[in-house]
Each structure stands twice: as C-alpha cells, then as structure tokens.
A and B are shown apart, each in its own frame.
Chain A
C-alpha cells in the first residue's frame, strides 16, 4: 500500500522533521509557561522533560522494531484485527489534526497580533495553505527535504538572540531550586506540549533509510529540540526580570522587539514573517500524516483526496470560525493532555501488547 522505496527519508531528514514538529509554535510560549510554574527554576525542568522524552522515544522505536510488518498499521491489523487498526489510525489522525490545527491557529493569531491586525483570518489561512498543500502532497521525502531546507536557512535565527546578551542579568537565574524541588516537577508538565510530535515516528519509521540508526536519530532530534529550548529559555530569563517573564504572552517574540540594529529599526517584523517557516514545520508534516492516516482508515490508495478535502475544509471553516487567543490557549491545554495520552501512554501499552503477543505467538507456533 505504501511505497517506501521511492519515498525514503534520510536520518537527517528524519531528525529535522521530528524536531520541527516539536519546536515550531510551541517554543513561543514555553518560557512563560515555565516561569508560571516555577519561576526561573523552570529552566531546570527542561532536562527532566528531555529524559522523559528520550524514554518515550525509545519506547516508540521499540514498538516499531517489534512490529513485524512494513508499517504499524499492518502489524496492528494482523495482530488485533483490521477494525482496531482502523480505529488506531483514526485516533492518530485526530491527534495530528489537533496538532496541525493548533499550529495553524497559533501562527495566524501571531501574524494577526504582530503584523496584520486588520487582515481576515481566513485570508491568512488560505495563504498558508498554498505552500503547505504543495509540500504535503509530496509525501515524506518532500517533507524531509523541506524540513532540512528550513533548518538550513533558519539556523542563523538563534544567533540574533545573542544580541540581547548585552542586557543580560545572569543573576536572575540564581538561586537554583529556590523553592525546592516540587515547583520544578510541576514545571515538567509545561514541557510536555513543546515535546509533542515524537509519535510521528509511527508513520515515518517505515520510510527511514537506515532503520538501525533510528534510536540515535531520535536522541539527536530530541537533543536539538532541548538545546533550542534551553537556549531560548535562558535568554528570556536573563533578559526579563523574574516576575516579568510571565507578563508576555510570547516572550520569544517580545524579546526581539528590544534588539536594535542600525540598519533596521525593528527586527521583529521581518522575523515573525520569517518564523512562518519554522511554524510551518508543525502543520505541514501533521497535515500529511493526518491525511495519510485518514486514507488508511478508508482504505484509499494515497493521501491525495483526504489532503484536498482537509485543505478545503480548513479554508472554508476558517471563513466562519477562527479561535480567539483564549480559545487557542484552551486548544493547547487539551492538546497537552491528549498528547500525553497518545505519546507517552499509548506507545507503552502497545509495546507491552506486542511483546506479549509475540511471546504467545511463538509459544503457540512451537
């Protein structure tokens, strides 16, 4: 059903797709959420979240290794029956739709707040869907190339943040563990939303060229994500005073406003526009994965039709309704919960099931 030969992706593309889904829009509000949970100690929650993600990533890879068929869907339909597999695909489709919608809505809201307050939401949506459709249509290989290219052309972004170091107050970070260990643990919850996306491995793994390197690729991608988060959060915490970090909705963008160059007065304007590239790393892969899962549910030969339907529904739907900022926050909250179940709990259950199944099967066979 899927042609993995023609659509294979390299380890590097795999890494950047996963990191892209994780970082994209989630990074914007991360410092605020960490600060809300634990003040400047929120920074310490990031390594903990990192370890958690590594574990979860390892479990996901193990599930894929255990699945004997080409894709997880095939394995599930073999071991649990076609309907369960369909249900599973539907669940994933829902989840990725959720992730995609959240990303799109966030991006549109940010563009609306910062750049074009009077432009209609659906206009922006249609504009964003143009390139997204074209890329998502191409399948994993084009997605991988896109992720790679975006990473290459946006790798200079972090360096601009170094300009804020002129106003750094390193003492803001001290003392560590100021209110003990508990706030740090609660802040780990805030790292879940920005780490969502590892589950894309379920779909992408069959396309991976060197499957034996999947674990290391996942470690690298999580490390990239985490170092970006740590870097950005540190920059925010040493720039803003501790009580101030919680005031700004998207501190990552607000901080840009304070950077001054001789030749360009306000760099956040071109930056936010450019950030659309980074943001797009969440909705484009998710758009593909969601439509792919839907095509599996309905047994279609490729993801073209669901993708087209999805794009049209999104464009028309936004014409009638676009969530507000508060609603988008709610979406995010739900997404974090939904994501926790899908990304952290579901793979473990699957792993247990597949292991048991194999054992039983072998015993039955012998």
Chain B
C-alpha cells in the first residue's frame, strides 16, 4: 500500500517534470538556420545585416532565402530577422560572416560580434571574410550555376587556405588576434567581378580592426611563410630578370612549388629598436619555366635569383606593413617570449614599436626537383 503511494508520487513527479521539460526543443524543420551573416554600413553609416537561409523543400527551385534589414545590433534585430522567415532564426550554423568594406573602415566594429561569443549556442568557427565592396552584392548574387553562396564561400576559403593563398580566420581566431597584443588581425577577402565571386587574397586589419591593406594570393603565401603557417605545396611565380621575352608571352616566368619550410625567427633588441632575423629555408620543385635553362648546371644560379626575388618581395611586404602599423606575422609574440622586459614597455602599442623595428630577411631556396622534363 505504502509502496504504491510512493510509486504514484514518483510517476506524478516524473510527469510534472516532463510536462515542463520541452522548452528547449526546436525541430530541425522549424529552425531557420542562416548559413551566412553579412554586416555592412550604408552611405549614412547605418548598420545593416544580411543573412542567407536555406529553404528546406523539394518543390521550391530557389534553395535559399535572403533576409536583410537595418538594426542597432545583431541580437536586437532578432525579432526582425524572425519576422522574415517561416522558422525561428538560430545562429547555430553560420558558415561565413561577411564584413563590408565600409564597416571595416570603422574602428571597433568587432564589438558587434559579441553575441557570437556570449550566446553559447552560436558557432564561433564561422569564417570571417572581408568583402571588397558591398555585402549586399554578395548576398543577393545567387548565381544559378553555383551552390549556395555560404557553401561556395566556405569551400573557397577552406581549400585555398590549404594552399596558403588566403586565411580561413574563424571568429574565434579573430578574437584571439584581437586579444593578442603582439599580432594584428588578418582575414580572407573576396570581391565581386563580373557577377562572379573572386577570392582576392587576404585583408590586413590594424589592431583596432580597421581595414589597412590587402594582399594578393602570392603575398598571402609569403605572409603565411613568415607566420610558419604555410603548408608544403604552396606555389609562387617570379619573372627572372635578364631572360628574353618572345612575342606577347612573358617568357621570363619561373614558377615553383614549395616544400616543407624551415622558418627561423630570431629576435633581439638593439639601440632602442627591436630586431628580427628571419631565415627561410626550403626545398622547391620547379613547376614551370618558360625560358630554356639547364637545371643541372645553372641550378645554383637559379636558386640564387629566385631567393633574391623572394627576399625582395618579402622585404617590400614588411615595409608596407610597417608603414601601415601592422604586424600580422606575430613578431610581437616572439618579442614577448624573448625580449619580455623591452616588450612589456611597448605592449600597449606594439604595432607602433614594430614599425621602427629592423627586420632582416634571408631566403635560401634549393631546387630539389625539376619534374619529368629536362
């Protein structure tokens, strides 16, 4: 008798739990999960958001729906976003976040992304992509011969990152770069040309997040090499001086594929300036040379020429970065690790200190393969 009472009580209690439980349920088909988030400013510096929501239906030709609007902040605009779709908007599946050029020209826009980190259910592995132009153009592009825009962009960024031609900087990684005082942020950059999305390379932001300069694919590779992030298999091309040009073709072109990199960075402090000796060493495989060369004999010469060209380009790159007060290489991290006493004095404005630093580059390429053709 007593037992049954206890059981009845337990069942009642269980039922009451279950009755009140289901508040977090959200069926897949009831969720609108935008895959891309776009943020931009219009001409009047009003904040705009954009989103691409996939449509789950076999009968509808167009696979995605675009949402847009103006708002003060992302979360504040949620009801407005919700109002445009059949489901409830969930930030759980963002693949890419697009940042308009006009937005990037402001400082401290990063605070707008706080909701990503604060709402634990949001993703933080979404790829940050700068748009050279307006985000609107990318979101509403919808080319019929390509997959959904977010998937296209994500794939584009991820695969090119494997070849070190851009950066698949995630929101979390960007967060890290903003918080690390010894490095300035860098993200992927795209552009619309002729109604086609094109990957430009990467965009460098200053410590406050303001857009500073863009790098093309080859410069991005160089930067990756300096960051020790370049994977073997990156490809570079140089025009070797002194080779004859024939017809309209630039037959002085040399292309090679890099092998495993050995980048050594030594830091020092002399005469009130930081010094960095960067020594890059790798074996390369020739993938293309449009001019005749006897690799067996002239390998040394070719190596030297290529090394010199690469050195020069890197030096130019670093000068440009110093001019813009940028340190995407993260040399500040080296300075912190090795020259802590000096570094800590300038930590708050490391890019400024870096702009005065002396950076010596040495590139040592050695030809390891020339392909099956002599």
Q: Which residues of A contact B (CB under 8 A)?
A: 113-120, 123, 126-127, 167, 169, 171-175, 178, 239-244, 247, 257-258, 260, 265-266
Contact = CB atoms under 8 A, between A and B. Distances in A.
Interface in B132-181: 170, 172-173, 175-177, 179-181
Contact of B125 (A114, A169, A242, A258): A258
Interface stretch (B193-201, B316-324, B331-339): B331-339
Contact of A171 (B170, B176, B336): B336
Nearest to A171: B337
Interface in B169-226: 170, 172-173, 175-177, 179-183
Contact of A243 (B17, B172, B181, B334): B181
Interface stretch (B18-26, B254-262, B350-358): B18-26
A133 to B, nearest CB: 12
Interface of B: 13, 17, 20-21, 23-24, 92-93, 120-121, 123-125, 170, 172-173, 175-177, 179-183, 330, 333-334, 336-338, 340, 344
Nearest to A315: B13
A346 B139 CA distance: 66
B333 A257 contact: no
Contact of B93 (A114, A116, A265): A265
Given A174-B337, A174-B338, A117 B121 contact: yes
A244 B180 contact: yes
A175 B176 contact: no
A167 B229 CA distance: 9
Nearest to A240: B176
Residue among A113, A247, A257 facing the most chain B CB atoms (10 A cut-off): A257
Nearest 10 Cβ contacts at the A-B interface: A241-B180, A174-B337, A244-B179, A118-B23, A171-B337, A116-B24, A114-B120, A258-B172, A175-B340, A118-B24
A260 B170 CA distance: 11
Contacts of B181: 241, 243
Contacts of B170: 258
Contact of B124 (A169, A172, A241, A257): A257
B17 A178 contact: no
| Chain B interface main SS type | helix
B125 A241 contact: no
A120 B182 CA distance: 43
Contacts of B124: 257-258
Given A169-B333, A171-B334, A174-B340, 20 more contacts: A118-B24, A119-B24, A123-B20, A167-B173, A169-B330, A171-B336, A173-B337, A174-B336, A175-B336, A178-B340, A241-B181, A241-B183, A242-B180, A243-B179, A244-B176, A244-B179, A257-B125, A258-B125, A258-B172, A265-B93
B242 to A, nearest CB: 41
Contacts of A119: 21, 23-24
Contacts of A265: 93, 123
B123 A266 contact: yes
Contacts of A172: 333, 337
A260 B124 CA distance: 11
A114 B121 contact: yes
A262 to B, nearest CB: 11
A257 B344 CA distance: 31
B116 to A, nearest CB: 10
Contacts of A126: 13, 17
B45 to A, nearest CB: 29
25 contacts: A113-B120, A119-B24, A120-B20, A123-B20, A123-B21, A171-B336, A172-B333, A174-B337, A174-B338, A175-B336, A175-B337, A241-B177, A241-B181, A241-B182, A241-B183, A243-B181, A244-B175, A244-B179, A257-B125, A258-B124, A258-B125, A258-B170, A258-B172, A258-B173, A266-B125
Nearest to A174: B337
A172 B176 CA distance: 12
Contacts of A113: 120
